[in-house]
Amino acid sequence: MTALDTAAPPRAGAGAKLTHRVFLVRELGILVALALLVAGTAISNPRFLSAQSVKDLLLGSTILAILATGQAVVVITRNVDLSVGSVLGLSAFATGTLFLNHPGVPIPVVLVAGTALGAVCGAVNGALIAAARVPALVVTLGTLYVFRGIDYRWATGKQINAADIPHGFLRMGTGTVLGVPVLTLFALVVVVCAGYYLRSYRSGRELYAIGSDPAAARLTGIRVGRRVFAAFVASGALAGLAGVLYVARFGTLDANAGLGQELNVVAAVVVGGVAIFGGSGSVYGAALGAVLLTTIASALPVLGINPFWQRAAIGALILAAIGLDRVLSLRVARSLQKGGRQ
């Protein structure tokens, strides 16, 4: 073994630690921004921190956080999934229809069925992107309309009301455990499991390698197509799960469920520190981004701010996140270069 061989691992380890510290600081920054926003709004209107308001905030961010988790897995591979809102709507209407046609169906079966439908939609995206090597932006923009068209065709002239949904399922959408909404617990489990997988499993870490440099990943033996396909299946499955929880949350639904949600999801992921060019970020940051965007949407009206500025604030956050991502990436690169010369 040469001296070069023995020196390489420490530098690689130092680079990984540096990158981890940088993006950990970024996630802490999101927490600080969230805390300042909540504190400022609570000072202006103390009712903002009432038990019911906090519960509404958690419920409002739950579905977005689940969608953002799946989207983060895809964006890490240097791709994007614009079809998640349509998949959510399709899964939601399928869930309502299942309850209409089979009133006694067990809730776990409904959860599995909705998730499986989403996974099938994700598999369609993944197959077109990984096998045919068509850009993800083009494919998912097309399937956004295809899945929504199927949903419209299926739901033409129909609306499913809360009276058609079993009370036990609706209680899941409003129930709490130790003060925490049940739906929020679903989101926590999803985020923790996804974060553990990306950090602890080789196949999860390979997603970061693909996002950093797909060509280099192929040269090292990583099956890029298979991993990208799996990322889109995961994103579709989580969108399907979000569709089922959407029914539990709102009860009443039609073909417009989830319409336009994909833009909020991408915004949450970018604001949460996941690099839009892939290779870095975490699902924890994406979930925090979802909570931050939901809190902004709830806090600014309380502060009496015009709806125009609400959208402008979110746009400014996205631009700031992209700029910060670029600055941090350059600093990490310079630090690694200095370490390599030592």
Specify the pLDDT at position 329.
64
Q: Which domains does the chain have, with CATH numbers?
A: 13-341 (1.10.3470)
Spell out the residues 6+ positions from residue 44 whose beta carbon is closer than 8 angstroms to its own. 302, 303
Specify the pLDDT at position 121.
96
Angle at which helices 182-200 and 167-174 cross, to 10°: 70
Specify the pLDDT at position 253.
85
Residue with token string 């270069």: 337
pLDDT tens digits in sequence order for the chain, 342 residues long: 333 343 334 444 444 554 555 556 677 778 888 888 888 888 888 888 888 888 888 998 999 999 999 999 999 999 999 999 999 999 999 999 999 888 889 999 999 999 999 999 999 999 999 877 889 999 999 999 999 999 988 887 677 888 888 888 999 888 888 889 999 999 999 999 999 999 999 999 999 999 988 889 999 999 999 999 999 999 999 999 999 999 999 988 888 888 888 888 999 998 888 888 888 888 999 999 999 999 888 888 887 777 777 777 777 777 777 776 666 666 655 664 565 555
For the stretch 123-178, pLDDT in tens is 999 999 987 788 999 999 999 999 999 998 888 767 788 888 888 899 988 888 88
Sign of torsion over alpha carbons 80, 210, 341, 20: positive
Specify the pLDDT at position 83.
95
DSSP state of 308: H
Nearest CA among 232, 310, 301, 303 for reference residue 267: 310
Q: What is the mean pLDDT of the chain?
A: 84
Specify the pLDDT at position 12.
43
Q: Answer whether 0.75 is exceeded by the pTM.
A: yes
**142 alpha-carbon distance from chain centroid:** 20
Contact of 58 with 288, CB cutoff 8 Å: no
CA 197 – CA 201 distance, rounded (Å): 5
Specify the pLDDT at position 278.
82
For the stretch 57-75, pLDDT in tens is 899 899 999 999 999 999 9
Q: Residue ranges of the alpha helices (H) in the chain?
A: 3-44, 51-76, 84-101, 107-130, 136-154, 167-174, 182-200, 202-212, 214-219, 224-250, 261-271, 283-302, 307-341
Instruction: Give the CA-trace dihedral at 194, 272, 199, 226, to 10 degrees.
Output: 70
**80 alpha-carbon distance from chain centroid:** 11
